[in-house]
Amino acid sequence: MRRKKSSIVWIQGITCNGDSHSFYNYESMKSFSKDFEMLYHPLLLLKKSFQEIIEGEDAFDFLIIEGALSKDKSIIERFGYGMEDIVDALSKRAKHIICAGSCACYGGVFRLRDEKSIFGLLFSGKQKGGYWKDSSNVINLSGCPVHPSWIVDTLYALKENKKVITDEFLRPKEIYAYLAHHGCIRNEYFEWKVDCKGFGHKEGCLFYEQGCLGPMTHANCNKILWNNVSSKTRVGSPCVGCTEFDFPRKSLYETQTNMSLPQAPVGISKRAYYALAGVAKGFKIERLEKRLMDEDN
């Protein structure tokens, strides 16, 4: 006998729809839809209209918020409702609230336009306090976009009343305790400080010249992969740090350096990192300087 389906209302603030598109690329949607029911989603034609959902009184399990929020109706409104009407009405009826994507978590790219009026639900960039000052039933799933498995896994954990341990930004540690660097197949190039000279190359580490933020970005992209197949760094494109509060940073594809010295990976002192990096870079490892598939050999 199947268990009762959990209900979801998905709303959008200021958004590009990216998190919705990512979510609907989930590989096992058929199985997921046996356990969850979408009561409302802006991109789907469902039984109830937006107005009926807002005006209704029924409780539901999950309110998923996609996109940055603003209390200023001239910036964002939906069918004549300001976000205050929408979020405040729906949040009272939701058991759990999930911010899907970095815009809903921190304000994201849209916040850069007006940091005083546009924010995430509970954070404005790094600062605690966004649309709301605080709330006890919010989980942040940052990312641009959020990985569909992060949403699904979190929904299942909450549905099954499992304790979801979160970090300082209210993100599940099961996902965000990892760094995008973990599982990167270029780790040997990182260890020996061998640069990647361009996008799409099989060889080299993208951290030193191409702007890769894998060693300072909390996400398990190289553990669970995207579409179960690959990740940015695996195909030769730098991690742009999309799960962090300061995303998007300027010059995403350039490593920001001081005197050609990159930022140290998260939690590692500059002294330790520079000592190790300086020593490693002093060795020329011929195998790592060569193409992986050398046509001359």
Partner 1 sequence: MDKKRKKTENILESALLLFAKKGFYATTIPDIAKYMGMSAGNLYNYFPSKENLAKEVIKYSSDILGERIRKVNDLDCSTKEKIDKIVYSYFEMATQKPQHIDYFLRVYLSNKEVFKDGCEGMLCVSSFVTEMMIFFEDGVARGELRNQDFFSAFGLFMGYLGGFVFLNGEGVLQKSLLEYADEIATNIYYALKSNA
Burial class (CB in 10 A: 0-12, 13-18, 19+), 233: buried
Q: Which is nearer to partner 1, 107 or 262 (CB)?
A: 262
Q: Does 161 bind partner 1 (CB under 8 A)?
A: no
Nearest CA-CA partner of 199 in 160, 240, 163: 240
| Interaction residues for partner 1, span 8-67 (CB under 8 A) | none
Provide the minimum distance between the beta carbon of 227 and partner 1 in the complex, in angstroms, as a whole number. Answer: 39
Q: Are strands 6-12 and 77-78 parallel, antiparallel or unpaired?
A: unpaired
Is residue 136 within the footprint of partner 1 (CB under 8 A)? no
Considering the rule CB under 8 A, would residue 278 count as an interface residue with partner 1?
yes
**Smallest gap, in angstroms, from Cβ of residue 277 to partner 1?**
9
Query: Is residue 297 near partner 1 by the rule CB under 8 A?
Result: no
Structure tokens at 234: 């695996």
Q: Which stretch binds partner 1 (CB under 8 A): 45-53, 126-134, 147-155, 270-278?
A: 270-278
Identified binder of partner 1 from the candidate list 74, 161, 251, 260, rule CB under 8 A:
260
Size of the site for partner 1 (CB under 8 A): 14
Asked whether 195 and 209 are in contact (CB, 8 A), the reply is yes
Determine, following the binding rule CB under 8 A, whether residue 283 of this chain makes contact with partner 1.
Answer: yes
The reply to whether 281 sits near partner 1 by the rule CB under 8 A is yes
In sign, the C-alpha dihedral spanning 171, 173, 179, 183 is negative
Kindly provide the residue ranges of all beta strands, DSSP E only, lying in the chain, ordered along the sequence. 6-12, 36-40, 60-66, 77-78, 81-82, 94-100, 123-124, 127-128, 138-141, 257-258, 261-262
Report the residue number, 260 or 297, with the smaller CB distance to partner 1. Answer: 260
Which one, of 84, 86, 80, lies nearest residue 64 by Cα? 86
Q: Which residue in the set 74, 161, 228, 258 belongs to the binding site for partner 1 (CB under 8 A)?
A: 258
Out of 136, 250, 282, 296, name the contact with partner 1 by CB under 8 A. 282
Give the range of 1-9, 218-226, 237-245, 259-267 binding partner 1 by CB under 8 A.
Answer: 259-267
Give pairs for 41-44: CB < 8 Å, separation 24+.
41/8, 41/10, 42/10, 42/11, 42/12, 42/78, 43/17
Q: Which of 43, 44, 185, 279 lies at the binding interface for partner 1 (CB under 8 A)? A: 279
Distance CA 169, CA 185 (A): 28
192 lines the binding site for partner 1 (CB under 8 A): no
- Please give the residue ranges that form the binding site for partner 1 (CB under 8 A): 257-261, 270-271, 274-275, 278-279, 281-283
